[in-house]
Amino acid sequence: MRFALDAEQRLFGDTLHELLTGAGTPALTRRWAAGDHDRTLWSALGEAGVFTLTVPERHGGTGPLPVELVVAAHELGRHAAPGPVVETLAAGALIDGSGDAGPAAEWLPRIAGGQAVVSLASPGQVRRALDADAADLVLLADGESLSSAAPAGPAVRSLDPARRLFPVRAAERLTAGPAVSRAAATAYDLAALACAAQLLGLGRALLDATVEYARTRRQFGRPIGEFQAVKHHLANALTGLEFARPLAYGAALSFGSPDFPRDVSAAKAAASDAAYAAARIALQTHGAIGYTDEYDPSLWIRKIRALRSAWGTPAEHRARVLDALRHG
């Protein structure tokens, strides 16, 4: 038993952190929100191997690698990167699990190589397709049927300006059968896990930014970080994040076991709460400046609120945990 990232996994995270720092994600996010879907960052993430993680080797990927998926999603969250990254990773698992008779040969190598941007929707679970107008392929998984889909109307505005959500309708059936619904369930769990990891990265980045702010912002002749009222908020934010992280890695390690959906739900519920608490504390500690659109941490604060309810709300995931315990 060694419950810690190995050197290669840490290096993967460090590489992504460097890449995303260089990309300048806050400015990128604002451009993305305005409809500029430049793919420079997407291609770079593809070269770093991010999109190989849910695609098997026979289709040009390295997956499934759920621990690396958590590492990557954590870094993407830490930088509040825009775009349907989680959706594309989920699409990899969905297409692969739906069988080689479907769109696997056509799409999986392109996904793995970072040449395809994919979004998806699924009635009852994912109501709208993120960034459907920027995608090369939009999938609609409905029961045992997997179709391509097209926007059925204009984007719905999200609190997170980078999340452009589209209602979609089915276009062309790609494949059908029980494998589709099984693959959709696995894809949903992998996406919920990646979303949990994103939330942890978002929360951690906000905590770091807020600590820095509290060390430098002065009121009453001293840094506000000297005040216990501020200290205790930040200590609480850290505690929540520190105990949600092992749940995400624990869930990644139970991939393939019957406990995987339960463990993903535990991680998603805890990560949602921890990140959301960190966001509230960041907002409160920054004061009025944190409440402004133009101040970059507000991008993190808004994305956390959005992702808290994406891929299942905390209440839905808690219910799933208790259901799993009854059947387990």
Partner 1 sequence: MDLDLSSVEPFRAEVRDWLRRNVPATPSPSLETEEGFAAHREWERTLAAARLSVVSWPEEYGGRGASPLEWLVFEEEYYAAGAPGRVSQNGINLLAPTLFAHGTPDQRERVLPPMASGEVIWAQAWSEPGAGSDLAALRATATRVDGGWRLNGQKTWSSRAAFADRAFGLFRSDPAAERHRGLTYLMFPLGADGVTVRPIGRLDGKPAFAELFLDEVFVPDRDVIGDPGRGWAVAMSTAGNERGLTLRSPGRFLAAADRLVTLWRAHGADPLLRDRVADAWIKARAYRLKGFETISRADDVGAEASVNKVFWSELDVELHETALDILGADAELDGDWLEGYVFSLAGPIYAGTNEIQRNVIAERVLGLPRETRR
Per CB under 8 A, residues contacting partner 1 are 1-6, 9, 67, 207, 211, 214-215, 222-223, 225-228, 230-232, 234-236, 238-239, 242-244, 246-247, 249-250, 253-254, 266, 269-270, 314-315, 318-319, 321-322, 325-326
Q: Which is nearer to partner 1, 180 or 270 (CB)?
A: 270
Which residues does 283 contact at the CB level (< 8 Å), separation at least 6?
290, 291, 301
Sheet holding 145-151, edge to edge: 118-121, 137-142, 145-151, 168-176
Instruction: With H, G, I as helix, E, B as strand and everything else as coil, classify residue 126.
Output: strand
Q: Which helix (H) or strand (E) holds 142?
A: strand 137-142
Question: Closest distance between partner 1 and the C-beta of residue 251, in Å?
Answer: 10
**Among the listed residues 241, 111, 65, 87, the one whose alpha carbon sits nearest the alpha carbon of residue 163:** 87
Compute the least distance from the CB of residue 207 to partner 1, in Å. Answer: 8
Sort 220 into a burial class: Cβ within 10 Å, 0-12 / 13-18 / 19+: exposed
Contact predicate 84/131, CB 8 Å: yes
State the nearest-atom distance from the C-beta of 244 to partner 1, in Å. Answer: 7
Closest distance to partner 1 from the beta carbon of 32 (Å):
31
- Alpha carbon distance 16, 277 (integer Å): 26
> What span, in angstroms and rounded, lies between the C-alpha atoms of 77 and 105?
30
| Min CB(4)–partner 1 separation in Å | 4
Q: Which is nearer to partner 1, 55 or 270 (CB)?
A: 270
At its nearest, how many Å lie between partner 1 and the CB of residue 221? 9
CB closer to partner 1, 15 vs 313: 313
Closest CA to 153 of 164, 168, 163: 168
**Smaller CB separation from partner 1, 177 or 250:** 250
Question: In this complex, which beta carbon is closest to partner 1, that of residue 95 or of residue 274?
Answer: 274
Q: Which is nearer to partner 1, 4 or 288 (CB)?
A: 4
